[in-house]
Amino acid sequence: MDHPHAEHDNVRASGQGRRRRWPALLVALLLGLVGVGVLFANPIVTVQLQASDAPIREGNSGTTRVVNFTVSLSQALGPGQQIVLALTTANAPSNAATAGDDYSATPATLTFGPGDTVRSFPVTIIGDDVDELNEAFLVRATVVSATGAPEVQPPVGSSTETLAVIIDDDNPTVQSISAPSAREGPGATLDFIVTLSAVPLENVVIGYATANGSATAGDDFVGVSDGILVIPQGQQTGVIPISVLEDGITETPETMTLTLNPATSFSVNTPFLQSSATGTIRDAKRPPVMDDQRFTVAENSPVGTAVGTIVVSDEEPASLTFSVSGGSGQTLFDVGASSGAITVASGAVLDYETQASYTLAVEVCDLINQCDTATITIELLDRNEQPPVVTPGQSFSIAENSPVGTSVGTIVVTDADGPASGRSFRVTGGSGQALFSVVATSGAIQVAGALDYEAQPSFTLEVEVCDGGTPELCGTGTVTINLTNVNEAPTVDLNGPAAGINASATYSEQDPPTLIVAATAAVTDPDGDQIASLVATITDPRNGVAESLSVDTSGVSGVSAAYNPTTGALTVTGPASVADMTTVLRSLRYVNTAESPGTARRIEVVASDAGSPALSSPVATIELTIVAVDDPPELVNNGLVVAEGQRAAIAAAALRAIDPDTLPAALRFTMTALPTRGALSVGDVPLVAGGSFTQADIDAGRVVYTHDGSETTSDSFRFTLRDETTTLPEAQFSITITAENDNPVITTSSGATFYLQGQPAVLIDPAATVSDVDSANFNGGSLTVALSGGAPEDQLAIQDQGAGPGAIGRSGNNVSYGGVVIGSVSGGNGSALVVTLNANATLEAVQALVRAVTFANTATVTTSGPRTANFIVSDGAGGNSAPATKLIDINLLPIANNDRLRADLNSPNWLRVLANDLDPDGDPLTVSAVTQPEHGTVTIIANGTAVRYTPEDDYRGPDRFSYTISDGRGGTASAEVTLTVEQVRIVLPLVKDRDAEPDLVVSFELVPAAPRAFRPATVNVTVTNQGRAPASSFWVDFYINPREEPTVNLPWNENCGRTPCEGIAWFYEGSLGVGERVTFNSRPQSPSNPYGYQPRFTIWNDFFQNGPHRLYAYVDSWNRDSSGGIRDPRGGVSEENERNNRAEQRLTIEVGP
């Protein structure tokens, strides 16, 4: 990574080698206003365009004029001084005049001697007749030489110039003005069109004003006194609009005048070919207004009858004329041509019944032929002439039993005078007057009483109808209403003469078939139809074939009966008369042989007739009460099977009390003897002697037996059973216990097993235990040991203890105990260790095997972090132990790095040899041993954190010794220190004072002060100027675990001690005054964070990694050029003290919340 210092000039080098340039604003000020140029010198030379002939006008073809430009010096030259100027012309950079066509000038040399201040330079302007834009050229004065003058501006060889503009005077003129006319009215204008003699090259401005004629400003038009018309460049015509006013007076045409004003016109030649024009204003009368209108006239009105007069809005109504151009009434009505009066025309017959309404399309016009049209509607008024007539022979049909309000039909009436609106109806007589009604407004017939075909099949109604006209006329008539016969449903009455059709009955449990209907029960039918069937149904049959319904059909011919036990329906099939079916109904019986029939039944009876369509009777019901008889309970006792040490609910299939007439909650089991190898409970409550539970508890799964886990095969308890009236003799419930395999158990000892990097294999847990209550051996089982957090170099193995009693031995893949092979081993080399066991693997052998498992690591550099050993034993009978774990604490060796140091002659030297050493586990390091050098002595000091080297007296030259470091947990490492012993260099202060210099001092803080690994952290670095002068533009570097202590010109990215390499760089641009300080932060620099780090030259993740850390901040850390060469070995700022630019801190960062 490139360090940012290469992109910035050092403070001391700023401004060097850069050319000084005059600001453009200063040059412009010295040159002066338009047309003025200034020559700078001491004296100052000024080029100035004299105003004697300004502006410079072009003139016509064949004419020329001379314009003199005056060059002056701001002050007269002294003796022996001379300035020589070269005067030239040039075309301007834009809208350029052309030398030779528009102007001409001969280059000249002007010499100023002592006392001279003014010279002139002539330029000839050449005229033409071409209409063109203004054009410009430059006059330039160049300083050729300056003799004896201390300073000339502009310098010799430089020039100043001014711009001259030639004004064109060949514009077009006004060629013509139109004479417009307009009629009075809203928005009306007189549009005067002004036409130029040619298309202009620039915008033309023309002034104008209006003058009264017979038209007056303010009454007839809007007057203008100083109007302006702009005709854009490239356009030859323009329009001057004069607004016309409406006065509402009928009058003759009036005039006004528009006059152009040359004095207020620009870019146009005068005099104008036409300078005024007349505008004419014509009268604008409003047209007549006629709206659509409506009139009425009675039918049969005679010829000449006045209908009405058409209304028109007009200022001069007497001058209007009317005409009819169409409409349905054009031949029936006349309209007066001057009056607008409407009358009935000759030969017109007006009949309301033929056509009730007519229209006329009418036009009205005034004297100046302004017209309007409208539609005139004429409506006829009806006259009553004929009474209404009830159509003879009308008849209607309606089914008997139709409910009140049912529509029968509508009486038909005719009336020669028109539609039925306004008619009224009433019933005046007839046989149906009490059973039917007629709606007065519509003639609709409705049912008003009970209709029975069998009583009377036909009725008449005498009706009067009136038309509601003027005068009102009425007519009468008779209509017939016929009833249609409808089949009516039969009725089943189970209660005889008593109210209602329903009945109740009683049946005693297990009685013979019992009659359940009254002797007066009957089946009836209003039509006298035969009964096709009679069905009696038990709505909730519960006992299958044990209960049934029956009837006696022996005395009735053609009738059969059948009972369906599934549906509970007894069907009696005819047909039979109502009398015969009544006989059958009165023999209806119920029987139930079940032990538990319940307490009630509902029986529904329905009869169906043989009519068309066939109809069924309303449902009649019998509420049957069953009187119960108590039954003793029956016991189902099948016993229970429970696995060893397990629990099981006693289900109804194992123990059940059956009693049809007792609820399960009332069937109670009472304990007379408890089980001896387990316990009974109801829910969570243990049962004791004399305790009880119910059949409902069994059905709910609440009665539970729990075995005590003993090696037994059976258990039992004794009980009695009682319902609400009866107690059964004592009974025994048997429980069969099935044996279960118990899992083996591994228990590891407490604490962790210590392992030092490079150490031989160690036993993981020589105190572990293995137990199994029901396994004599582990034939077919296994021991599995696996590592969590391990590395490929981790090794699991079995320690070979030999073949002695109680010893674990290993030969190849065979593992033995006391010399007898107990299994074979596989894995362990970076993977799980597995020992497959045989029949010789007793409990004692397996325990010894677990204790003989070892751990080692073959790598030179071991992966850091602890390991967890997981032990699992399988007994070969399906039982597996729960995993047992043992922590292995691995201590990595520290790393000692060689040192190259300088030692002072004849002085003890404090050497921090641990500065570049580290411990991968973060353990604190100390010096535990040293060797003695050839030319001095070394001792361990400061509790092992440093050593003191004392050279032999007056010895100069190289020396060396080695030292050993320790991490306090058995890990050690050694390194060599190479020394150079030399004379102490003492710099004496100068006798004279030196220039004041800054002095930058750095410090830093961490937030939080004790950061946690991988948690957010902030670095704040503060730089204070404690010197006597300001400091400008310097770098600050922050080093994280550098390779060596930072020095100037060694940026953090070239001093990496760890991977990944991290560091922060800040650049302070500006001046830090005496006593001032600035604090940098570890966030990126931005407009809102000016003291943030430089993102291009920083690697910082906002957190620290775990382990020991050496942190440094260095101010004024860098001063190199773009190629990397060192500009100054002291950095970018010369300081009074170059030895206080570094701050440091050492800490160990741990993982934590």
DSSP β-ladder status, 685-686 and 491-493: unpaired
Question: Could you tell me the two tokens for 491?
Answer: 């009725």
* Residues 629, 510 contacting (CB under 8 angstroms): yes
Q: Tokens for 1032?
A: 């400008």
Q: Is 997 exposed, middle or buried (0-12, 13-18, 19+ CB in 10 A)?
A: middle
**Euclidean distance between CA atoms 434 and 450, whole angstroms:** 10
At 862, is the pLDDT very low, low, confident or very high (cuts 50, 70, 90)? low
pLDDT tens for residues 72-85? Answer: 877 788 888 888 99
Task: Quick: pLDDT tens for 987-1011.
Answer: 333 333 446 788 999 999 999 999 9
Residue-range domains of the chain with CATH: 32-167 (2.60.40.2030), 174-282 (2.60.40.2030), 293-381 (2.60.40.60), 389-447+462-484 (2.60.40.60), 512-627 (2.60.40), 634-738 (2.60.40.10), 745-891 (2.60.40.10), 899-982 (2.60.40.10), 1000-1149 (2.60.40.10)
Which helix H or strand E contains 30, and what residues bound it?
helix 24-31
88 within 8 A of 140, measured Cβ to Cβ: yes
Q: Tell me which residue of 190, 264, 276, 270 sits closest to 230, measured CA to CA.
A: 264
pLDDT, tens only, 417-476: 766 678 999 999 999 999 999 999 999 999 999 998 878 999 999 999 998 887 888 999
With beta carbons less than 8 A apart as the criterion, state whether 565 and 545 touch: yes
Task: Give residue 672's region: left, alpha or beta (phi > 0; psi -120 to 50).
Answer: alpha
pLDDT, mean of residues 163-173: 80
pLDDT of residue 35 exceeding 80: no
Q: Which residue has the tokens 């404090």?
A: 910
Instruction: Please write down the long-range contacts of 1078-1086, taking CB distance under 8 Å and 24 or more positions apart.
Output: 1078/1022, 1078/1023, 1079/1020, 1079/1021, 1079/1022, 1079/1023, 1080/1020, 1080/1021, 1080/1022, 1080/1023, 1080/1036, 1081/1018, 1081/1019, 1081/1020, 1082/1017, 1082/1018, 1082/1019, 1082/1020, 1082/1038, 1083/1018
Q: What is the mean pLDDT of the chain?
A: 87
Amino acid making up residue 433 = Q
Mean pLDDT of 23-51: 37
CA angle 706, 711, 716 (to 5 degrees): 45
- What is d(CA 90, CA 136) in angstroms, rounded to the nearest whole number? 9
Instruction: Classify 1041 as helix, strand or coil.
Output: coil
Residue 776 has pLDDT above 60, yes or no: yes
* 206, 242 contact by CB (below 8 A): no
Radius of gyration of the chain measured on its C-alpha atoms: 66
Query: Kind and range of the H or E element at 1015?
Result: none
Report the alpha-carbon distance of residue 64 to residue 58 in Å, rounded: 8
In terms of pLDDT, which residue wins out, 316 or 193? 193
Distance between CA 735 and CA 626 in Å, rounded?
A: 42
State residue 369 phi and psi, 5-degree precision: 60, 35
Residue 847 three-state SS: helix
Residue 444 gets which letter from DSSP?
E
Mean of pLDDT values over 955-978: 95
Residue 1135: band (very low, low, confident or very high) from pLDDT cuts 50, 70, 90: confident
pLDDT of residue 1124: 66
Alpha-carbon distances of 936 from 414, 600, 939, 951, rounded to whole Å = 151, 122, 10, 4
Please spell the DSSP secondary structure of 336-399, one letter per residue.
Answer: -TTT-EEEEPTT----TTT-SEEEEEEEEE-TT--EEEEEEEEEEEP---S--EEPTT-EEEEE
pLDDT at 351 over 80: yes
Decide: 643 and 710 in contact? Cβ < 8 Å.
no
- The alpha carbon of 739 is separated from its chain's Cα centroid by a whole number of angstroms, namely 62
Portion of the chain with pLDDT greater than 90, in percent: 59
- Helix, strand, coil percentages (3-state) for the chain, rounded to 5, are 5, 45, 50
> How is residue 346 written in tokens?
């000759």
Is 1011 within 8 Å of 1005 (Cβ atoms)?
A: no
Which DSSP symbol is given to 513?
P
Please tell me whether residue 577 adopts helix, strand or coil conformation: coil
pLDDT at 547 over 80: yes
Tell me the mean pLDDT in the region 897-910.
Answer: 90
So what's the pLDDT on residue 1? 40
Report the C-alpha gap between 133 and 168 in whole angstroms. 6
Residue 986 has pLDDT above 80, yes or no: no
Averaged pLDDT, 317-324: 91
CA distances from 406 to 426, 443, 1098 (A): 18, 14, 99
Q: Which residue has the tokens 């207004």?
A: 289
Compute the residue count for the chain.
Answer: 1153
Residue with tokens 């001409």: 104
pTM over 0.85: no
Kindly report the backbone phi and psi dihedral angles of residue 1138, in degrees, each rounded to the nearest multiple of 5, phi listed first: -90, 5
Query: What's the rounded Cα separation, in Å, for the pair 303 and 332?
Result: 9
Q: Which of 58-62, 243-247, 289-293 has the lowest mean pLDDT?
A: 58-62
In one-letter notation, the amino acid at residue 284 is A
Which tops the pLDDT comparison, 931 or 792? 931
The gap from C-alpha 247 to its chain's centroid, in whole angstroms, comes to 67
Task: Read off the tokens for 1140.
Answer: 């206080």
pLDDT tens-digit series, residues 584-616: 999 999 999 887 788 899 999 999 998 888 999
List, as one string, the DSSP characters of 40-62.
-SBSBEEEEE-STT-SEE---TT
Q: What is the pLDDT of residue 627?
A: 87
Which strands make up the sheet holding 1000-1007, listed edge to edge? 1000-1007, 1018-1025, 1077-1081
Lowest mean pLDDT among 84-88, 263-267, 923-927, 1121-1125: 1121-1125
Average pLDDT for 99-105: 89
Instruction: Identify the residue whose tokens are 């009695």.
Output: 720
Give the pLDDT score at 1145.
94
Q: Are 891 and 969 in contact (CB under 8 A)?
A: yes
Distance from C-alpha of 373 to C-alpha of 290, rounded to nearest angstrom: 6
